[in-house]
A and B are shown apart, each in its own frame.
Chain A
Amino acid sequence: MATRANNKIRPIRRANVHKDASEFEPCWELLRDALTSIHTKNAGSLSFEQLYRASYKIVLRKKGDLLYDRVKDFEELWFSNHIMPRIAELVSNNLVSQALLKPPGTSAHERREMSQKFLRGIRDAWEDHNMSMNMIADILMYLDRTYTAESKKPSIFAATIGLFRNHILNNSLGSAATELNQDFIIFDILSAVSLDLINMERDGDIIDRNLLRNITSMLEDLYETDEEIAKQKLYLTVFEPQYIRNSKEFYNKECGKLLQESDASTWLRHTQRRLNEEQERCDTTLSILTTDKIANVVESELISAKLDDFLAMEGSGLRAMIDNNRLEDLSILYQLISRVDKSKTSLKTTLQSRVMELGLEIEQTLRNTDFSTPSAVGGLEGEEAAEGGDKSKVQTLSAAAQQTAAAIRWVDDVLQLKDKFDNLWKVCFNEDLVLQSAMTKSFSDFINRFNRSSEYVSLFIDDNLKRGIKGKTEAEVDVVLDKAIILLRHLQDRDMFERYYQKHLAKRLLHGKSEVHTEKDMVYRMKAEMGNHFTAKFEGMFKDMVVSSELTDKYRDHIRSLGDIGLSKTAELNINVLTTNYWPWDVMGRNSQEEGAKADCIYPPAIKRLQESFFKFYLKDRSGRVLTWVSSAGTADIKCVFPKIPGKETGSLSRERRYELNVSTYGMIVLMLFNDLAEGESLSFEEIQAKTNIPVSDLMRTMASISIAPKARVLVKDPPTKSIKATDTFSYNAHFMSKTIKIKAPTISSLSKVEGDEERKQTEKKNDQTRAHVIDAAIVRIMKQRKQLSHTQLTSEVITQLANRFKPEISLIKKRIEDLLVREYMERVEGEVSAYRYLA
């Protein structure tokens, strides 16, 4: 046993140290003195090492609880002896009544001085306290890490810093409470004077922001309880709600005042300024925690509350802003509205209705404007003049031309309107998608409400493509075409547009009025916009043109190789072979109802031979095809020789004159009749008609072009009126002369123009027929797939399927369904109301 005892080589001294409790008091005394020094700001001479070790040892001796309580008691004592009296002094009766009862009659200046003095006192006390508590927490670090952590008590810092809350903020110091018979705690006064100061600043006074900032950060550092739960900062639980309430009141009042006294524009700017101010206030004076909340207050009080009232303001509301292009106002408005309302409903509806109104206005003006005067025709005039080279012509054709002008005017206006709103959208509305779709929708609405929009758009394009040849740079043309495409996007009845465009395109192509690459470009754009099926026909037309020109070349070579000199001498043939499906009906001469009258006109024998020869050539490679000559669509260059007029020795009439006259095919046929006539003889209109079998209307136009238009009056009409009648007679104009060798007889029909009402009806009728087929196809497609469907389902499916092309009328769909029922493509399902089953 003795050996064993010796074996314990190192009985370390600590073994008995821990039992010694007597050490506590000296250590505590040391610490207590240190605490006093810290409070009196004499900490510089204290040694952290000593103090820490003192507290460390206390804790190690298991006296942590005692130390904890002693420190707390010490602080409480110190607080009541040294700090509370200082604060109590600050709380004068005057201040309390000022802050809580708000008696009238004190100037802002006085109030400010008083409040700031009070706040300064609080702040100084707080800063001293905070600093001391930090230092104390530093030396008691070991206590915090072990004892407090284990016993789940608040850290020493939290416990002591909380004294400030318990003994100052939630306490009424001084005698004011009893004297004024008013229950309050310091916190009330603190909030009241702080809010008062903030309101002063809102009214334009200058206050000590730093001071307020210090006060709020104090509130942020204090918690409801010593547990220091992040959500329970005094700032958040007490001050902020008061602040929000106060601000709400303030802005509510302000908004009412604004509504009465100023206009929307002022309101916008004011609101914006307020928002910035509040943001800044949170950054510099209060806490950033409040930024969003206060912004919400301003938004709800200044923006949302009376938004509609402000927007509706006469002379400065939204409508005025749009009409007067007040871009800045609109931008601000947009910013404000997007803050409060993601869907921006009020802005959206006003915009929409404004677009609609302006759109209808365009239509209205169109109807009211008289396009018969050149001034009304405006920009169109130059083009007309260039084309016709003759103003009187414009006037004579006015009815049709007026319509065309109207069409172009309409499109221009619509585009302008669109430009305007697009501009607003870009500049002010931050390219907002919601607004864009809303505006697009109202554009579509009014464009489609106008029943001639498809035609007008097509006309507009036609006009521009034709103009494009003349002196417009490609870039300019591009811009215009882009716009046209934009309009196209809005169109619902695309099949109508397709039809018109086809017609106009056909004319342009056959008469060579536009440049092929621009045309192709345009079609390419449409393709990109609307898909392949839409442009299939147009592309077919282009292809026809290309194939035809190759064919012509081949034919020419063929003739040359045949050596048929006679044939090649009489005329050169330039052929356009058109595929029936691609080209519009009327161009193909099929518009006339009477199928029989479609019979060819009688060609002069020379031409006839030519035709036959080509026909043979054509069929050599392509047997089984049928060629139909469309005389109404062709042109001919005629070399004509006017012999010199006897008796005229001078002037151009004294010489033999050779001209190349470009006329329509019909014109050629007619003129060739006169080849055979003897000098002085004449033919009556009826005779000509009988000899050529040209349809009367076409013949009239033809005769007009070669007997009335002064430029190409190769025939003399009797009587020399300005219109063609069936009774007129025509004779060869031997005195014809022209300054140019090549003369183009104005082809009247080639001028694209708005259809007359009659034509229009026809077009629509035809279109309806096509639509009927398309709908049929769609219905069958759908039914084949779904086998059985109810009526409403079927209808809606049809509409969605066709949305890309046109908007079918419900009645039409219904009619087609009935038709299909009759034709036994499908049947009604028995026992169910209006349901259909597909019959294979």
Chain B
Amino acid sequence: MVLRKHELEAKLKADSQLISDGVLRNEHPLDLSEPFNEFLQACRRGDLKHCQELITAGVNINGKDQYDYTPLIIASLCGHYELVELLLESGALADPDSFERERAVYNALNNKIRNLLLSYDYSKAADPLQQWSSHITSLLVRDVPKTSDIALSSAADSFQLHKFLLSARSPYFRKKFADAPATATWKLPHAIPVEAFRVVLRYLYLGDLPRDFVGPQSTVSEADVFKGIDKLCKQLEIDQLWEAILSINDRRLARQRQQDEVERAQLQVEGFFRDTVLKYKMVVDSRKANDVKWPHDNAIFANCILRADEHEDEEEDAEPVIGFNGIPIGAGESTASPNGNKKARQSTLYPAHKAFLIRSPYFATMFASDFMEARDAEHLHIIKVDCPPEVLEVILTFLYTEKADCPLEFALDLLYASDMLLLDKLKTKAAVAISTLGSGTQNALVDRTHFNDGHEGQESEVEVEPINVYDVIHAAWDLKVQRLEEFAARYLASRLEDYIDEEEFAALIQESASRIKERQETDTIELLDDIRYYLSERFRLRFEGDGLEEMLDEEGEIKAEAVEGLAAAENGTTAEANGGEEKVQASEGGLGEGGGGTVRTLDGKLVEDEFDSDAVNYQILLQKIDTMLDRLKLDA
């Protein structure tokens, strides 16, 4: 159904009225920025590829220009079916009954597009909290493993609930449980119909509110249920529920309310998480960690304890690996292992709640199994997690609140830990944290053969590598993170001159080769291929950017230079052996060459300009790779 024009105008007025009254949020902010304008232009042209790029780059897909055009409207108007589809799939809002959708429908060039728009009853906008909130909702019905610690029962029904969540969500419950944390059952007052309570619970657990509050065979009237809800709202101090119920028939409003509610709940849970889990964490001597006894009915409703051991010092590498990695073969053995002369290792214990831990399949299986951790015991089980305390804290924060801010220094640990706990989302986040090293302001991949004039001197002296690339590549291989493999290759390529001569690098290449040979008999070395690719990109990019690609365009020319480079390499290495430092001093800083580059230029002769030096450097590096391969007796 398509609105008439006057109806459409009325809709616009009504919507802006609603927004100015504060009933609705404005989901289509005015956006006059350049990328958005570009985006609109691309939509107008139907430039699918460009649009895709811009969306990936993060342009606001729901913005509008000064004529109230949204990208969706433009795309529909101009008749780009695939583009409309892309926009809708990428999260363009098309709420029924909103002006923007009605306008898009009204303006749609043809019926095909119109039907597409009409068929999108909801917006696909990815809700980052969706997984988190649906986990909480699922707690209401999930019985395996058992996570609930309080049962609310009425005559007919009994609800298995979680004190932690109730306390986080309702001030009333927080007070009640703080007074009597051991409460295990709770009788519902008879005066309030059980239906009302069910609605309130769904609200607390972030579920969708039902459309009909009264089931068909229910004995109570809708009015009674409403009265009950009202009473409960007041008692539990959750006023927003009323608004949610009132908005239940307007889907757009209901969706926004739900979003707000989930965000609010996230804050509540996070706050409560900090007040309980993080506040009550204990740092104890590792040897004594297992002796800590927590009662079951504690004030923060924790039902298990997670333990993380501090990193040991470097020297401890010498220890037997099993002990070091925290697999105690017999009870207490790990605590006995540290050498006496060191200060005792510290362990951190976090009281935790199974209800949130089971977001990890690892914990879900653990608590559902028949093993020790799932058995009843006098005191809370202490479960060791093989990672530093800081990482465990990140993991816990993620499990409880879906937030994950990972400092780079722990990223690798987090990567391993989340892999072990089967938390794919967190693993991805950790991988992203590492691989985004190369973007933004702190670009670690800046080509160091081109320093800015002023910085050159300092950089070469105090440069601190943000991360151990060998670890990264091994983690990538161990855990099969493609993204990190690529990152490592790029990283290596960007500073190959630092690594090319290291033994460890050669070993790495060797390992990469063997990894492949394990799988199939091919002659390529994946890592090396990647490095070569990024290397060529590193240099060629610059050639191209300056319109001088012809330098390398013809094969012959490259060959010629390669021959030249061959000779250069021989001399270069000897030159290097004689003492690189000296040569660096000797080279002219103003030219902007990196230390390695100048050193390796043919016979120490200075080349005319950057481009020449680039070409020469490129060849030198390739040559070095080849010599290394020869040494390793690998064909590639």
Contact = CB atoms under 8 A, between A and B. Distances in A.
Interface string B321-356: 110011111000000000000000000000000000
B361 A56 contact: no
Q: How large is the interface on A (under 10, 10 to 19, 20 to 34, 35 or more residues)?
A: 35 or more
Interface stretch (B239-247, B363-371, B390-398): B363-371
A54 interface: yes
B362 A17 contact: no
Nearest to B475: A14
B474 A145 contact: no
A145 B479 CA distance: 12
A381 B412 CA distance: 110
Nearest to A22: B321
Interface residues of A: mostly helix, strand, loop or mixed? helix
Contacts of A48: 365-366, 369, 371-374
A141 B365 contact: yes
B291 interface: no
A10 B468 contact: yes
Contacts of B372: 44-48
A52 B329 contact: no
Interface string A58-99: 001000000000000000000000000000000000000000
A97 to B, nearest CB: 41
A135 B370 contact: yes
A656 interface: no
Nearest to A4: B498
Nearest to B365: A138
Interface in B281-334: 314, 317, 321-322, 325-329
B34 interface: no
Given A12-B412, A15-B471, A141-B362, A23 B371 contact: no
A1 interface: yes
Contacts of B322: 23, 26-27
B584 to A, nearest CB: 11
A373 B467 CA distance: 122
A23 B478 CA distance: 16
Contact of A47 (B321, B371, B412, B420): B371
Interface string B461-477: 10111111011001100
A56 B327 CA distance: 11
A56 B420 contact: yes
A15 B327 contact: no
Contacts of A1: 501, 580
A50 B322 CA distance: 11
A52 B464 contact: no
Contacts of B371: 43-44, 46-48, 51, 135, 138-139
Contacts of B325: 17, 57
A257 interface: no
A49 B381 CA distance: 11
Interface in A12-43: 12-18, 20, 22-23, 26-27, 30, 43
B422 interface: yes
B375 interface: yes
B464 A7 contact: yes
A43 B478 CA distance: 30
Interface string A777-807: 0000000000000000000000000000000
Contacts of B543: none
Query: Which of B329, B375, B480 gathers most chain A CB within 10 Å?
Result: B329
Contacts of A593: none
A11 B468 CA distance: 6
Interface string A266-305: 0000000000000000000000000000000000000000
Interface in B373-425: 373-375, 383-386, 409, 412, 416, 420, 422
A622 interface: no
Contacts of B467: 10
A15 B474 contact: yes
B431 to A, nearest CB: 15
Contact of B480 (A49, A54, A146): A146
A665 B386 CA distance: 122
B474 A14 contact: yes
A49 B331 CA distance: 13
Nearest to B518: A62
A14 B317 CA distance: 10
Nearest to B413: A12
A141 B386 CA distance: 17
Contact of B412 (A14, A22, A131, A142): A14
Contacts of A10: 409, 467-468, 471
A52 B422 contact: no
Interface in B419-463: 420, 422, 460-461, 463
Query: Which of B326, B466, B470 gathers most chain A CB within 10 Å?
Result: B470
B374 A53 contact: no
A46 B370 CA distance: 9
A22 B320 CA distance: 11
A450 to B, nearest CB: 53
Nearest to B477: A18
Contacts of B498: 4
A11 B373 contact: no
A561 interface: no
A106 interface: no
A45 B331 CA distance: 11
A8 interface: yes
Contact of B463 (A7, A47, A138, A139): A7
A49 to B, nearest CB: 5
Interface in A623-665: none
Contacts of A107: none
Contacts of A54: 327
Nearest to A41: B370
A9 interface: yes
Contacts of B422: 141-142, 145
A368 interface: no
B366 A49 contact: yes
A473 interface: no
A581 interface: no
A14 B471 contact: yes
A3 interface: yes
Given A1-B580, A53-B386, A23 B369 contact: no
B478 A53 contact: no
Contact of A20 (B321, B365, B460): B321
Contacts of B463: 3, 7
A8 B384 CA distance: 30
Contacts of B386: 53
A275 B368 CA distance: 41
A49 B471 contact: no
A453 B478 CA distance: 94
Closest 10 CB pairs of A and B: A48-B371, A12-B471, A48-B366, A138-B369, A47-B372, A48-B373, A7-B465, A138-B365, A46-B371, A15-B471
5 contacts: A10-B468, A16-B317, A47-B371, A48-B373, A49-B383
Interface of A: 1, 3-4, 7-18, 20, 22-23, 26-27, 30, 43-54, 56-57, 60, 131, 135, 138-139, 141-142, 145-146
